[in-house]
Structure 1
Amino acid sequence: MTKKVLTVLSEYGYWGEELIGPLHHFDERGYDVVFATPKGRRPHALPPSLEPDSIDPPLGRSVVSVEVAKAARDLDESSRLDNPLDLSTWVPERPYTSDADYLRQLERYNQAAGQQLDERIAEYDAMIIVGGSGPIVDLANNGRIHDIILAFLRAGKPIGAECYGVTCLAFARDWEDRKSIIWGKHVTGHCKEYDYKDGTGFLTTDFNMGPPPYPLEYILRDATGPDGRYHGNFGKEVSVIVDYPFVTGRSTADSFTTGAKMVEVLEHGLRRYGW
């Protein structure tokens, strides 16, 4: 049976290779890849991720090969990403406690974020959150994204995340105990050494945030707790961690391996890798 993967992208820019890497392996296996964004707007690749001559400041070299740049540009200019699912229609926002008729609204929200969302994601075999700077804006602290992650977790289905997309896993948590879903888990994600000191930018705006607004490594170290662990693997070319149901990739160079490990999880029952 054909596997179906929900692929979540930011509307403020994804990193080209971080989509191309997993997509290469999914397409190779004939998976049904369904693209989705927070509000249904078409996603686009961040311009530096399409330029082989663009130098990554922390690494002091280009991180975009000619081949990957072409593949990412071809995809970005194609019609394949034209009509992503609108995830805002999947589940309502959680009501404020100050809202009128709060209790009834909360009951409706819990129904939508629970049983109804479980039924909606039943057709999918896995989900993956593509990285880049964009997720900082519209994915990391997006309650709807968290609810969808929690639904996949309840169903015991694989959840992949790359780079700053891994932040979504750290922040996704049950409203009652508020403990991160990666507590006690092993993960990787953008390490401190890879963070820009300046130049963190987003599509649809010319705002230069400077450095990222939060160091993801620190968040992941705290979110995994004393029995889990963050693996930065700085100095190693690839950092991909599988601690089922999570498959996490550190950054751009880890994208193809992230996709390969997602396939191994789905087809060969891989439960642990990289630690």
Structure 2
Amino acid sequence: MSQRILVVLSEYGYWGEELVGPLEAFDARGYRVTFATPTGKRARALPPSLDPDYIDPPLGRSVTSHDMARKARALDESSRLDNPLSLADLIPERPYYSALNHLRELEDYNRRLQSATSDLVAGFDALVIVGGSGPIVDLANNERLHEVVLAFAAANKPILAECYGVAVLAFARDLETRESLLRGKHVTGHPKEYDYKDGTGFIGVDFNMGPPPYPLEYILRDATGPEGGFHGNVGKETSVIVDYPFVTGRSTPDSVLSGELLVQTLENGLRRYGW
């Protein structure tokens, strides 16, 4: 029976290669892939990720080959990403604590949440959170997605997060302890050296946000704590860390390896890599 993968994309733009890389690994193995977005809106690739002539300012070079740009554009223009699942439809929203009948609403929320996340975990073997700048807007602090991450982790099913998608793992927390799922874990992600100084862009947003609103490296260092660790691997061409159930990829060039390593966690029992 083929593996079933749930891939979550931002509605504010994903980086083309960060979807193509894992997806090619899944397709080669005959996995069944289902896409989801926060509200069911179709995701679109960030324009720079389709342009092989775009020079990434922090790295001072193109980060997209002509072949990868072609593949990403073909995928983005295809119907494959049409009609994604909606997290807003699948996962209930936690009530405000100021709700007039908070206790009853919270009990109802927990009942519906348990049913919804149980169905998702039963229906998929792994979760993938694709990176790019878009996840900063609608994935990093998306409480519905946090609940999905918590459920997959509790079921001991692998979770791959790339680039700014790794922030989702840092913010997914049990509200009883407020402790990050990444506490004591080893991860990689966008290091400070890779952060833009200006020009961070999103699909559907008509302003220049400037630098990222948070330095992901600092968040990941704090989330993993003294028993874990952040590995930026600055100066190395690739950086992918496996500390099961998490597979984390630093940025665009790590996408192909990220997908391959998730396959290895599913098929060969890989539990540790890169640290």
TM-score interval (norm. to shorter): over 0.9
Alpha-carbon contact 1:186-1:231 (below 8 Å) kept: yes
Aligned amino acid, residue 212 of structure 2: P
Shift of 1:208: 1.1
1:252 matched to 2:256: no
Identity %: 68
For 1:38 and 1:121, how far apart are their aligned partners in 2? 17
Deviations 1:109-145 (A, max 9, x none): 1122224411332010000000000000000000000
Which residue in the other structure is 1:163 paired with? 163
CA RMSD of aligned residues (A): 0.7
TM-score w.r.t. the length of structure 2 is: 0.99
Aligned amino acid, residue 122 of structure 2: A
Shift of 1:90: 1.4
Of 106-115 and 1-10, deviating more is 106-115
Which residue in the other structure is 1:216 paired with? 216
1:146 matched to 2:149: no
Of 175-184 and 85-94, deviating more is 85-94
Deviations 1:58-102 (A, max 9, x none): 000000000000000000000000110011111111111111111
Shift of 1:201: 1.0
1:192 matched to 2:209: no
Which structure 2 residues correspond to residues 90-129 of structure 1 after superposition, within 5 A? 90-129=90-129
Which residue in the other structure is 1:262 paired with? 262
Shift of 1:207: 1.6
Alpha-carbon contact 1:118-1:155 (below 8 Å) kept: no
Deviations 1:158-202 (A, max 9, x none): 000000000000000001100000000000000110000000110
Aligned amino acid, residue 98 of structure 2: S
Which structure 2 residues correspond to residues 1-275 of structure 1 after superposition, within 5 A? 1-275=1-275
TM-score w.r.t. the length of structure 1 is: 0.99
Deviations 1:3-40 (A, max 9, x none): 00000000000000000000010000000010000000
User: What secondary structure is seen at the aligned counterpart in 1 of 2:6?
Assistant: strand
Matched residue count? 275
Aligned amino acid, residue 53 of structure 1: D
For 1:108 and 1:231, how far apart are their aligned partners in 2? 41
Alpha-carbon contact 1:164-1:216 (below 8 Å) kept: yes
For 2:119 and 2:20, how far apart are their aligned partners in 1? 29
Alpha-carbon contact 1:170-1:182 (below 8 Å) kept: yes
User: What secondary structure is seen at the aligned counterpart in 1 of 2:7?
Assistant: strand
User: What secondary structure is seen at the aligned counterpart in 2 of 1:200?
Assistant: coil
For 1:114 and 1:175, how far apart are their aligned partners in 2? 15
For 2:141 and 2:213, how far apart are their aligned partners in 1? 13
Aligned amino acid, residue 74 of structure 2: D
For 1:119 and 1:244, how far apart are their aligned partners in 2? 22
For 2:69 and 2:261, how far apart are their aligned partners in 1? 22
Aligned amino acid, residue 9 of structure 1: L
Of 247-256 and 101-110, deviating more is 101-110
For 2:263 and 2:100, how far apart are their aligned partners in 1? 47
Aligned amino acid, residue 92 of structure 1: P
Alpha-carbon contact 1:91-1:109 (below 8 Å) kept: no
For 1:166 and 1:76, how far apart are their aligned partners in 2? 22
For 1:168 and 1:109, how far apart are their aligned partners in 2? 21
Name structure 1 gaps, 5 residues minimum. none
